[in-house]
Structure 1
Amino acid sequence: MIMNPITNRQVLDLPIRESGAKNRNRIISGGALVVALAVLTVVLPFVTSGYVIYIANLLLVFTVLSLGMHIVIGEAGQFSLSHAAFYGLGIYTAGLLNNAFGLPLILNIIAGGLVAGLCGLAIGFLSLRMRDIYLALSTFAFGEAMQWIFLNWTPVTGGPNGLNFQPAHLFGFTFLSDKAAYPVVLILALVFVAATFVIHFSTLGRSFRAVRESEIAAAAVGIDVKRVKIFAFALSAFYAGAAGGLFTTFSTFIHPESLGFHTTILVLTMVVVGGIGSVSGAIGGAIVFGLISELLRQVPSYQEVIYGGILILFMMYLPRGIFSLIGRR
């Protein structure tokens, strides 16, 4: 046996140190991205107004939506195509409660998240019996059924004419403009971002990723796989519903056509292109493709084709997402 001048303990520690350095680099890169975006969003209302602020509010909503899909797909590895339905449930729940009872904004957002979360809980039970393409098809069917309800339940949702909401209010202050709503939207979106990072590094996040990698191995180390999968769907749906409630902070109208399958594809593209399993990637993907969706607003017929093509290219040539390149550097 040839002895190395380095002690055995030091040799064994080298891979651990290298892995720790990589993790620290990823955390630093992700943290730097989030801090830079936070600084930009804070100073934005002081340097611009009008349509730009509306887009900023919309990007913050997309960020919460993207983080919700990140939890179920990126963290837990469960394929879901019903995110737009949960988003719509949050919008209609928050808007209808505001119209009927004039509840404060925070209560409307929580209610929207809870209603969507309960539906996500039911979808979570489906995940115990279905996997892969069968789970994707069942969640797709749920999303299409919900859009049919949004389009045809005219006395409640307004049907094909859409639904108008009263302006949201909080602590006696009514949000009559995008600029007035922006600070609240920003603060609540940052709360969801912080919560997602906490979940990612918590025991729950590790349980999610263990189930994603191998359900058999996760069960072998004592993780309740069924409970973890159900909770992932419920938590993801809560995020989407809360994002819908957040949308009613600055918008007073919703049309069912904006809650179709193309919205789910858009959010899925954000997560995949940003980087599956990366919180920072989900945030970056939401911002990049939120802006792209606005640029493509004039060609709605081609949006799904473009997003589908982008998904195919990234799954083939860059499956870890474009923001993984930043973390690698």
Structure 2
Amino acid sequence: MRALGLIIAATALVVLPFVATGYVIYLANLLLTFTVLCLGMHIVVGEAGQFSLAQAAFYGIGIYTSGLAGQIFGWPFPLSILASGLVAGLVGLCIGTIALRMRDIYLALATFAFGEAMQWVFLSWTPVTGGPNGLRIPPATLFGIEIVSDKQAYPIVVAIAVLMIALTLVIARSRLGRAFRAVRESEIAALAMGVPVKATKLAAFALSAFFAGVAGAMFAVYSTYIHPDSLGFQTTILVLTMVVVGGLGSLGGAVGGAIVFGLMSELLRQAPSYQEIIYGLILIVFMMFAPRGLFAFLGDNLKRFARA
């Protein structure tokens, strides 16, 4: 079933630009961006068990870094995406050094405070970010060619998303991935087995921020404008909903949740006042009745139906 799903997904990605309209391709780019953003949240929350609410802030750092690298320095896209990931990862490492002295709800509050502080910076640092007027993002360039349409950006976004999914798989199967899961299950047991708990937590935080920075650079490929209002707590709640409802600790759940709730966020675009309420209710319902996530819940019920 997994192989069949991968074949169907790969076929859809290849065929899409030949049959879809401009808006559908834009939506596909956005969903792939959300996928990479969710992979970062999956690493720090699902794999390492550290409750972080700063993903939107690192995402914004990636967008602004990529936009400013192109606007001020004229860097081509490969350099700007690397810069976005590294800058966000470095900030994540610095914040993690402070925040990871706390645990559980206190860690969540500390990272939430950082996210709110960064949105204030995006709104107030007018000479750099454009402040409340937002920032115009210049067209990304690759091999001297300007990327000016969603269809041009699509193969680049797909390639980055596939690369980041592959990187997540490599991390999950590596010694570092096993250390993440050991820390998630029990820090005391991890210490007893010789796992450097503090360094492992920092690695998870930095990798999560790196993924968010790369997602920000992906957004800058096909978008020409960013406003700080789209980088607030609502975005963090959306990403958290994607990961938790998709299936906490599951790579497939993170990818599936990004697609399902990315589409839902577009459907709810006309009702922005109610989005946080709706996402909150969905989180509560799934944590109460389907804690393993939407796709595990559907799979279990399909198995029961097949046995019956």
With the shorter chain as reference, the TM-score category is: over 0.9
Q: Does 1:247 align with 2:219?
A: yes
| Correspondent of 2:130 among 150, 158, 178 | 158
Is 1:78 the counterpart of 2:50? The answer is yes
- Residue 207 of structure 2 corresponds to residue 198 of structure 1: no
TM-score normalized by structure 1? 0.89
Q: 1:305 aligns with which of 264, 268, 277?
A: 277
Match of 2:91 in 1: 119
Asked if 1:135 corresponds to 2:107, the answer is: yes
User: Once superposed, what is the RMSD of the aligned Cα atoms?
Assistant: 1.2
Aligned match of 1:42: 14
Letter in 2 for 1:212: R
Larger radius of gyration: 1
Counterpart amino acid of residue 122 in structure 1: C
State the AA in 2 paired with 1:324.
A
Residue of structure 1 equivalent to 2:202: 230
The corresponding residue for 1:69 is 41
SS in 2 for 1:169: strand
For residues 117 and 36 of structure 1, what CA distance do their matches in structure 2 show? Answer: 33
TM-score between the two structures when normalised by the length of structure 2: 0.95
TM-superposed deviation, 1:126: 2.7
Percent of residue pairs identical: 67
Structure 2 SS opposite 1:320: coil
Letter in 2 for 1:200: A
Task: Supply the distance in 2 between the matched residues of 1:33 and 1:80 (Cα, whole angstroms).
Answer: 30
- The answer as to whether partners of 1:76 and 1:208 remain within 8 angstroms in 2 is yes
> Which structure 2 segments of 5+ residues have no match?
304-308
Pick from 288, 291, 295 the counterpart of residue 263 of structure 2: 291
Aligned equivalents of 2:63, 2:290: Cα separation in 1 = 34
Displacement of 1:177 in angstroms is 0.4
Deviations 1:180-220 (A, max 9, x none): 11001101110001111111122111110000000000111
Q: Distance in 1 between matches of 2:166 and 2:156?
A: 15
- Residue of 173, 180, 198 corresponding to 2:145: 173
Deviations 1:106-165 (A, max 9, x none): 111111111110111022213441000100000000000000010111111111111101
Give the whole-Å Cα distance in 1 for the aligned partners of 2:6 and 2:123.
37
Structure 1 counterpart of 2:306: none
Contact residue 50 and residue 184 of structure 2 kept, 8 A = yes
